[in-house]
Structure 1
Amino acid sequence: MEDERYPIVILYNKIPAGFFVFHGWEGVKAYSINKDAILLRTYSVNVSFQGKGIAKNSIKLLPSFVKEHFPHKNEIILAVNHNNKIAQHVYQRGGIKDKGIRVMGRKGELFILHMEL
């Protein structure tokens, strides 16, 4: 179902500082055959909040958040542009792994990253 999109706001001292969307199977299937995975998409932290550890800390909180709100999911998947080295670094520091899977996106090659739960 296309309506399996769940927008999430990242708060910093009770102020909105970032945003992302979890997307169910309709989003996952372009990158994985795991029907128990959930796709993390459109992850961003507002420029004025960058450099405060918000991205790293919010990514480290993802497993417990998913286990609480999506208990049937066993993996988080995300796609990141191969040119976006900063995002790749932040995701990997947060525990998201690169298993070497690549796909072509609208703007070029995407790295498919994984976090097992």
Structure 2
Amino acid sequence: MAAGSLTIQIIDDTNREAVIGLTVATEQSRFIETNAESLREMEVDVKYAWTCYALCLNERPVGFMMIGAENKVDRYVWLDRFMIDAHEQGQGLGSRFLQLALVWIQDRFDVDDIVLSLHPTNELAKHFYQRGGFVDSGRIDEWNGEEIWVYHVKQGQPS
């Protein structure tokens, strides 16, 4: 397991190129957009108020995520494009960053659920998110045909 300090940082001029240079493993690339595409989407698709973040190990970008499309009525927000660079995979960083991201999101958004979508054939991602506390909602994202998975923020807390 990779040791070190994990942080979530806004993407700016100091880390943008490093984040754009991060890529997933070849067999994962058909399931996720590049970070450059995600950054462009954040700038163009302002309706969903996407914000992109660098996932940093000892201040060095090793991953990426987008947060947005908050629904204040139904009390959920999307975690999208979560990725760890191919060279950093297999060290437990994804699981550590996912748990950090879940806490980080809950500290910033007043929501009951954190949602994401997964390609129906991406079994590795399904297993990863299931281990992280997400469950298959049984719904399909009309925009891309992917399965919608949900993390219930209140899980494990006394009701």
* TM-score, normalization by structure 2: 0.60
Q: SS at the partner of 2:47?
A: coil
- 48 and 67 in structure 1: CA distance in 2 versus 1, 3 angstrom threshold: same
Q: Which residue of 1 aligns with 2:147?
A: 111
Given the superposition, is the C-alpha separation of residues 44 and 63 from structure 1 closer, same or farther in structure 2, using an over 3 Å criterion?
A: closer
Cα distance in 1 for residues equivalent to 2:83 and 2:103: 19
Residue 22 (structure 2) pairs with residue 22 (structure 1): no
Larger strand proportion of the pair: 1
What are structure 2's unaligned runs of at least 5 residues? 1-45, 154-159
Aligned-partner Cα distance in 2 for 1:34–1:58 = 28
Larger fraction in helix: 2
Q: Does 1:64 align with 2:103?
A: yes
Q: Return the offset for 1:37.
A: 0.4
Larger radius of gyration: 2
Is residue 76 of structure 1 aligned with residue 114 of structure 2?
yes
TM-score (norm 1): 0.79
Name the amino acid aligned to 1:55.
Answer: G
CA distance in 1 between counterparts of 2:114 and 2:56 reads 21
Which whole-Å deviations, capped at 9, do the CAs of 1:4-51 have from their partners, x for residues lacking one?
Answer: 1121111122210100100123xx6xxxx9631001111111101101
* 1:90 to partner: Cα distance: 0.9
Give the CA RMSD over aligned residues: 2.1
Identity, in percent, stands at 21
The equivalent position to 1:52 in structure 2, one of 64, 67, 91, is 91
